[in-house]
Amino acid sequence: MLLSLPAAGAGCGRRAPVQPNVLIVVISGLRADHVSSYGYRRATTPVLDTLASSGTLYEQAISPAPWSLTAQASLLTGLYPSEHLAAFDHPVLDAALETLPEKMKTAGYATFAGTTDSLAGKGNGFFQGVDNPVEIQPDQQASPDEGAASLETAFTGWLDGRRTAGSAVPFFAYLVLSNPHLPFNPPGEYRQKFLEKAIPLPRLEQISQLWVPFARQLMLGIVSLSPDDLAAMVSLYDGEVAYADYRLGRLVDSLRERKILDDTLLIVTSDAGEDLADHGLLAESSRLYDSIVKVPLVMRLPGRVPSGRRVGEQVQTLDIGRVILALGAPPVQGAPAAPAAEAVMPGRAIAISEGRFDPTALRYYRKLAPEADLTMFESNLLAVRTLEYKYIVTSSQRAALFDLKADPGERVTVLSSQPERAKDLSSRIAAWQSSLKAGR
């Protein structure tokens, strides 16, 4: 795999195409704090790090939702969950909503989408506007790598078909890799790549198969993980991340080999992270801690995306489509040529994330622990985040305030000591709600 990328940028005199190709790679479940270029202690993402060095990395990219399907719906529509309404009890993207692939198709693009996430496919409305949809079903195909290799083959085969046909039409492609999700079972050499302490192979195999039922029992305190078991689980997660990064590298190489890499706006991000026993949670999809909603975001397009830039300003992933549409809009016939605009994500002083409770999980919790206080699992959540603080409030009117600088792990609420700051952030909610488009 070729990891070195040309450092062409605006300062190198390279002329970017008027309508660049666009490739979005969503590594579902990837949390920012396990990416090496975001400061993680392990070298989990050499390919993504190299892309960042020749493009722009956003240090504070916030997802509007903690569940993959809901977050992907926001990325594809530019809408908050309260607007598109794709959630646990309605896991469907409404056909009346105009999606990014539909808009790109209108702008003259050929469209391709592929996913290894069975929840967000054609049956749920996620392929609207896609000419060439590919759904990989890892469970049905007994895939050893969650379908990642099959998705790569489908995409490169489509690229070759375009080349054979001599197509000069730019393409828009949206690929979702679901490797870093529970169960953490990385293939081949990636299984033990990050293990720092020997663990019996039978036990490692057991840990690699732990799934949602175990996660829910862990959250209720019915089962537990020893420190060694937890360390092994985190190492397996990092192995999944590294394998997804390897597949990303092969996708990058496929563009380079076809001599279209530098003509392609390449965006790598995540929909939402994955809990790793943070706050006693594992694979919980409704919490709004940074371990879940803070995701990586890297963009690369020589001549249009600044090279080697790190942006500390807060952004939200639902704005990615705005950048793509600005770069991919066809030139107006007869109008004078305008200078090529740089790809710039709009900054957000206030980022909003919404977490809806999972009715199916709640029923399971009630069956397992009928006497337990399940308030935290039967409430919706809303987070208001700045670079310094995060205010979280539930639909049952419980609230917490976290100092993200002093307490990045969001362990201790400072609500009682800073009531005025909490009041100020709470006041932003009404303004945000008034700006929403009516839910469908």
> ∠ CA 252-193-242 to the nearest 5 degrees?
25
- Say if CB 256 and CB 2 are below 8 A apart: yes
Query: 311: which 2 tokens?
Result: 């942006």
Cα separation, 63 vs 82, in Å, equals 14
Q: What is the DSSP string of 293-323?
A: HEE-EEEE-TTTS-TTEEEEEEEEGGGHHHH
Judged on CB neighbours under 10 Å (0-12, 13-18, 19+), 373 is exposed
Stretch 311-337: mean pLDDT: 83
Nearest to 267 by CA among 179, 330, 176, 132: 176
CA 205 to chain centre: 27
Stretch 219-244: mean pLDDT: 96
| pLDDT interval class at 144 (50, 70, 90) | confident
Element (H, E) at 353: strand 351-355
- 437 residue type, one letter: K
* pLDDT single digits (tens) 19-34: 999 999 999 999 999 9
- Say if CB 316 and CB 386 are below 8 A apart: no
Higher pLDDT, 17 or 235: 235
Tell me the backbone φ, ψ of residue 123, rounded to 5 degrees: -65, -20
Q: What is the DSSP string of 6-41?
A: ----GGGT----SS-EEEEEEETT--GGGSGGGT-S
Say if strands 110-115 and 297-300 run parallel, antiparallel, or are unpaired: unpaired
* pLDDT single digits (tens) 150-161: 999 999 999 999
> Distances from the Cα of 417 to the Cαs of 62, 390, 391, 401, in angstroms?
26, 14, 13, 10
Region class of 221: left (phi > 0), else alpha (psi between -120 and 50), else beta: left
**Poorest-pLDDT segment among 282-286, 337-341, 420-424:** 337-341
- In this prediction, residue 335 carries a pLDDT of 52
Nearest to 348 by CA among 321, 380, 399, 312: 312
* pLDDT single digits (tens) 395-413: 999 999 999 999 999 999 9
- In this prediction, residue 106 carries a pLDDT of 95
Beta bridge partners of 21: 264
Cα separation, 16 vs 169, in Å, equals 15
Cα separation, 283 vs 212, in Å, equals 7
Cα separation, 83 vs 96, in Å, equals 12
The average confidence (pLDDT) of the chain is 91
The yes-or-no verdict on residue 101 having pLDDT over 90 is yes
* pLDDT single digits (tens) 166-220: 888 999 999 999 999 999 999 999 999 999 998 999 999 999 999 999 999 999 9
The yes-or-no verdict on residue 421 having pLDDT over 70 is yes
Helices marked H in 118-275 — which ranges? 138-141, 148-165, 201-208, 212-219, 227-257
- In this prediction, residue 375 carries a pLDDT of 86
The yes-or-no verdict on residue 344 having pLDDT over 60 is yes
The yes-or-no verdict on residue 437 having pLDDT over 60 is yes
- Say if CB 72 and CB 59 are below 8 A apart: no
Query: 226: which 2 tokens?
Result: 């020893």
- In this prediction, residue 120 carries a pLDDT of 86
Sketch out the chain's domains with CATH numbers.
16-351 (3.40.720.10), 354-435 (3.30.1120.10)
Cα separation, 143 vs 149, in Å, equals 9
